[in-house]
């Protein structure tokens, strides 16, 4: 017998993301390839994408048990797309930004 987790809805995922951003539980590590994404966009653009962006890929659970999704926000002629992983920490949620890309 195997146990399958309940699928998480898009609305619930957005609510978790908005709450984590308001609490300041966002970690943006340096890119693994040594590049610097902040040469192309600012931390503010990433924060605004997390606060007001739309989900462009449905949330899914990865092999580590984290919820992954992609948000996108268009502003100032630039579409910012942010790939995130949501992790549960005791009573609150945290966001780890995996990848940031811009689409002109």
36 within a domain of the structure (yes/no): no
24 within a domain of the structure (yes/no): no
Q: What is the pLDDT of residues 27-82, one digit of tens each?
A: 887 765 556 655 567 788 889 999 999 999 989 988 888 899 999 999 878 889 99
67 within a domain of the structure (yes/no): yes
Total domains in the chain come to 1
4 within a domain of the structure (yes/no): no
Q: Is the pLDDT of residue 94 over 80?
A: yes
- Residue 29 Cα distances to 25, 35, 92, angstroms: 13, 11, 20
Alpha-carbon distance 10 to 63, whole Å? 19
pLDDT at 43: 81
Range of the domain at 57: 43-104
Can you give the CATH number for the domain in which 61 is found?
Answer: 3.10.450
Q: What are the CB-based long-range contacts (under 8 Å, 24+) for 29-34?
A: 29/96, 29/97, 31/99
23 within a domain of the structure (yes/no): no
Cα atoms in the 13 Å half-sphere on the side-chain side of 98: 11
8 within a domain of the structure (yes/no): no
pLDDT (average), residues 7-35: 83
């Amino acid at each position: 017998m195997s146990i399958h987790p309940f699928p998480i809805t898009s609305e619930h995922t957005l609510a978790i993301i908005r709450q984590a951003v308001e609490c300041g539980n966002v970690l943006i590590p340096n890119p693994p390839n040594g590049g610097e994404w902040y040469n192309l966009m600012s931390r503010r653009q990433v924060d605004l994408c997390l606060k007001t962006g739309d989900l462009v890929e449905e949330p899914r659970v990865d092999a580590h048990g984290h919820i992954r999704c992609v948000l996108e926000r268009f502003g100032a002629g630039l579409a910012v797309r942010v790939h995130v992983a949501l992790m549960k920490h005791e009573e609150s949620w945290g966001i780890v930004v995996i990848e940031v890309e811009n689409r002109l």
